[in-house]
């Protein structure tokens, strides 16, 4: 697969206090983008978790969605992968509306959600064979691909372990193997490096970089800015459910200042006024 030329990530939503009704009409979806988000909003009763997000993810890019806890990253992730319906707006994934082509989108993407979505009473290898069958792969191809993925992520010796008895790190690596089994065009990862040991993390970083070089688009959420700064070439920062800023790699690579940019966009530079005399 050849790698398409990366387009610039764009955004029209801001971190202002205006309501969605007052916001300007989002631009039409960009068919050249791997993901085109337009006015994406999600409310849970009176609470607005995500408000009027509009941005593009270039094809073949390594895109990071950043934000503090509660900023709306996982809610956005779930809407983009068809796991949660938006209250307003839409997203186009690989040229298909998630709302109108949910099944087609899910077949074309690989997803590692925060809850991993595994079956506790199935072994690691039974998960591989089940997911392979769902994607229509023949038995020999499932065996070939599955063995390679488990070996890469140091799970081969644990293939007969029940998922319910596996460690958090093992479960996360299994979920990643399942997401890659059908060679997706677009890979969604929600906090993929949490609970992963340093050796596996190094293998995972190398694998993701190789996938992007092949033209696969990687979209991940993460709290680990050091890893994002090394891997990503585009990023978007959420703050209180709104798009605070979009960035290109040049903006943090030249100054090595992704953390400073993140804190500036989210208001994290303000020191807490809590009185900790009793502790300190």
In this prediction, residue 266 carries a pLDDT of 87
Residue 7 binned pLDDT confidence (cut-offs 50, 70, 90): very low
Alpha carbons 230 and 22: distance in angstroms, whole number? 38
pLDDT tens string 25-64? 666 666 689 999 999 999 999 999 999 999 999 999 999 9
Mean predicted confidence (pLDDT) in 156-165: 96
> Is residue 160 situated within a structural domain?
no
> Is residue 196 situated within a structural domain?
yes
In this prediction, residue 255 carries a pLDDT of 65
Give the residue numbers spanning the domain of 45: 20-115+185-266
In this prediction, residue 241 carries a pLDDT of 95
**Bridge partners of 80?**
none
> Is residue 41 situated within a structural domain?
yes
Our count of domains for the chain comes to: 1
In this prediction, residue 194 carries a pLDDT of 82
Q: Is the pLDDT of residue 115 over 90?
A: no
> Is residue 106 situated within a structural domain?
yes
Q: Is the pLDDT of residue 73 over 70?
A: yes
Average pLDDT, the chain: 86
Q: Is the pLDDT of residue 8 over 50?
A: no
Q: Is the pLDDT of residue 270 over 50?
A: yes
Q: Are strands 217-221 and 186-190 parallel, antiparallel or unpaired?
A: parallel
pLDDT tens string 76-104? 999 999 999 999 999 999 999 998 988 89
In this prediction, residue 223 carries a pLDDT of 81
> Is residue 222 situated within a structural domain?
yes
Provide the percentage of residues in the chain whose pLDDT is more than 90.
Answer: 61
Residue in the structure block whose two tokens are 């809407």: 79
Q: What is the distance of C-alpha 20 from the center of its chain? A: 24
pLDDT tens string 179-235? 999 999 999 999 888 878 888 888 888 889 999 999 999 999 988 888 899 999 999
> Does pTM surpass 0.85?
no
> Is residue 36 situated within a structural domain?
yes
pLDDT tens string 240-258? 999 999 999 999 876 668 8
Provide the percentage of residues in the chain whose pLDDT is more than 70.
Answer: 86
> Is residue 93 situated within a structural domain?
yes
Helix (H) or strand (E) holding 66: strand 62-66
Distant-in-sequence, close-in-space partners of 33: CB < 8 Å, separation ≥ 6: 7, 56, 57, 58, 59, 92
In this prediction, residue 177 carries a pLDDT of 94
In this prediction, residue 16 carries a pLDDT of 38
Q: Is the pLDDT of residue 23 over 60?
A: no
- Name the residue with higher pLDDT: 12 or 279: 279
Burial of 219 (0-12, 13-18, 19+ CB in 10 A): buried
CATH number of the domain to which 69 belongs:
3.40.50.300
> Is residue 133 situated within a structural domain?
no
- Coil, helix or strand at residue 216: coil
């Amino acid at each position: 697969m050849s790698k398409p030329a990366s387009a610039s990530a764009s955004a029209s939503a801001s971190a202002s206090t205006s309501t969605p009704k007052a916001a300007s009409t989002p631009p039409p979806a960009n068919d050249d983008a791997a993901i085109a988000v337009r006015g994406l909003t999600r409310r849970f009763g009176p609470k607005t978790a995500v408000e009027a997000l509009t941005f593009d993810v270039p094809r073949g890019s390594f895109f990071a969605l950043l934000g503090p806890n509660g900023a709306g990253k996982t809610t956005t992730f779930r809407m983009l992968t068809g796991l949660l319906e938006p209250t307003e707006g839409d997203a186009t994934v690989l040229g298909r509306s998630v709302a109108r082509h949910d099944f087609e989108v899910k077949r074309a993407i690989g997803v590692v959600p925060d809850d991993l979505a595994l079956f506790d009473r199935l072994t690691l290898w039974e998960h591989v064979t089940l997911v392979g069958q769902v994607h229509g792969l023949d038995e020999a191809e499932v065996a070939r691909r599955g063995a390679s993925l488990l070996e890469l992520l140091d799970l081969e010796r644990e293939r007969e372990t029940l998922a319910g008895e596996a460690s958090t790190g093992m479960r996360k690596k299994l979920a990643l193997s399942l997401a890659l089994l059908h060679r997706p065009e677009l890979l969604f990862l929600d906090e993929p490096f949490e609970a992963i040991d340093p050796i596996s993390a190094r293998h995972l970083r190398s694998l993701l970089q190789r996938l992007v070089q092949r033209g696969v688009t990687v979209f991940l959420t993460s709290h680990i800015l050091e890893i994002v700064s090394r891997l990503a070439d585009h990023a978007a920062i959420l703050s209180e459910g709104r798009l605070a800023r979009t960035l290109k790699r040049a903006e943090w690579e030249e100054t090595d200042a992704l953390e400073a940019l993140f804190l500036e966009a989210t208001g994290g530079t303000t020191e807490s006024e809590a009185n900790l005399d009793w502790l300190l």
